[in-house]
Structure 1
Amino acid sequence: MQINISLSTLVQLMAATASLIAALVLTSYPSNIKDQKYAMRLLSLMFICLFCWIALDILSSIEKLNFSSSPIKLSFFSLVFMSFFVPLHYIHIIFLINKRLELLPILIHFAMPISIFTIGMINFNDPKIATLEATVMWLVYIQLLLYWFFELRTGLKILCLKKQKRLRIHKGWLKWVKFYIIILPFLFIPFFLFKVAGYSTQDAILIDIAESIVILSISLALFLRPDFLFGLIPLSFEQRKKTYLNPVINTNSRLNADQYKRLLEQITLYLDELKPHLEEHFSIEQMAKELKVSTKELENYFWEQEGLSFEEYINQQRIIYSQAIIQKGAISKLTLDILAKKSGFKNRIVFINCFKEFTGYNALDYISHFLKIPSNK
């Protein structure tokens, strides 16, 4: 089946435009939180590399701009930016987890991209650069495969830390990581399949289309799921100590696994349907009475299953409710005081402090981010 080259170019142009806009949004996003700002700068660099990768591919595919009379190959330098893409995203995740970056790991991750760039510059006017390109292409696609395994391993590590109550993860950010891990293989699987089956010009067009769709999807995810910017929140030492050094628990009030599961379902349905936690004076006694369980059972459940006290858990649910209002764009019709009251807090001061505690971000900074992005409906 013949595929019109214009289809490939059109998809590439869309991907290049989306990745450039994503890079500009991340670069210009105002944030007073140092760690968040650095993380977004890393993501911005990643999207710039995606843009340069696709842009150079487009230029190299246009015959009149392909410099056929010159040995330079724009497609070779598109591979350079391609090789920077996955290390940048991986380092972005590592930075969010550790809140710091060390020089040696950075040099190791960027050793291959820098080497490819150096080879390209040394052989800038050498006709043999076309031969080198085939070898470099294999290396870059193998790099994509290896970093996919790195991302998968890190994703599992994040889930493990979450289970151990050592890391809070925003659900939107977790969905972004899952989406990224699922879609990344579509960058390298087509290449390996076509190489095994026998590579042709038609296959190259199909690979370009597949890569462009992946890049377009990754770029659009920034706008469809903007909450992934507010992602990993490592617990402080005091919070971890509080989580593990639980108060003395009355063993007679402990529940088995099935009872915990049923209680979780009860609590979830109770909060979702009646939303009693949005009342300022909501108490554990009220919840116990309406769920027909003892307060001790509820206290044990929250400590053992959530790693939080009842008050902390309820405030967390209130913050999640306020985040939903903000993300839908409804905040534009509310003042901060009304949002605090609507979410069940006594006043805006308590709301701002709880928001900072459970998300790691300033409430006004979070609100200003979502006010700039159209809500999804």
Structure 2
Amino acid sequence: MKKIQMVDLQSQYQKIKTEVDASIMNVIESAAFINGPEVKQFQEDLEKYLDVKHVIPCGNGTDALQIALMALGLEPGDEVVTADFTFAATVEVIDLLKLKSVLVDVNLDTFTVDTEKLKAAITPKTKAIIPVHLFGQCANMDEVMAIAKEHNLYVVEDTAQAIGAEYKGKKAGTIGDIGCTSFFPSKNLGCYGDGGAIFTNNDELAHRLRGIVNHGMYKRYYHDEVGVNSRLDSMQAAVLRHKLPHLDGYNAARLAAATYYSEAFAEIDELVTPVISSDSTHVFHQYTLRVLNGKRDALQAFLTEKEIPAMIYYPVPLRKQKAYDSGDYVDADFPNTDTLVAEVMSLPMHTELDEEQLVYITSAVKEFFGK
């Protein structure tokens, strides 16, 4: 049996090695390393795949979020509401821009933002909402968009973990004003370095975004606004261009592995398997269980002994992180987030999991629970 990994990028690469290698060599031979033809072609391919008017490639997913907020013209002190249970990049960019992050609890079943708590968090200073499509499925975008419309707020979708997922037939990242994603190697659509992209159907926002990613320039050496230097390089675009046609297949393989896991664990009362929303498909960037009765850490240690990796995303909520603890949440009630940080654990999830590996992993989990 092959060594079990959280993500097996080597095996995935071997299946597309010939075409990827040829494209990378073409970039090297052409010396079109920045904004070359591969970037333009990937941009157009992704626009078609997402059915969105504008894709703006950039350097990474964190840059995508920052640039999106910069394009909205927000002022220092403006409030941006997002989930407490997510990766730090979502609030990192808010604080970097001197905006104020307002954190709210998530749903216990889908791990996405609790829209009732979201409603309660809106103040006259609120200017934007960042729903996070965590672990591979979409937040309740009907409710998010209704709240945004009622209060005249921008919506920036964090789609770093859900590229290819659909909410009522629309691709994740194309429902709000702006969508952002990451092409970090372990993502469902990952390159071989850093990369990201921003999506929008708004022509005016697209124009601003294109300037901001390129030092605020729309004409060379004429800087119309403060921008950044954030570009998807041509070699990463070449990789992504060849992986994009495989994305739906990759996501289907992840779903198949997730289904195998969930069926295997159906009779274990101390495990809560991932819930798939009726409104959203799930592309399973992670397969994340809840382990009840305080057994999570013991199960992780047991699996480690059997050389099965298992990760805990995210052990500390954002409101308690040293960098983002504003003191605003000392007495706040975040029951679902606090439950999740004590119970969640993610099993290996990638496109190359085979039946032998899945049998070994699920058998080990069953053994731990005496099944």
TM tier, smaller: under 0.3
> What TM-score do you get using the length of structure 2 for normalisation?
0.27
Structure 1 length as normaliser, TM-score?
A: 0.27
* Structure in which a larger fraction of residues adopt helix: 1
Q: Whose strand fraction is larger, Structure 1's or Structure 2's?
A: 2
Structure whose alpha-carbon radius of gyration is higher:
1
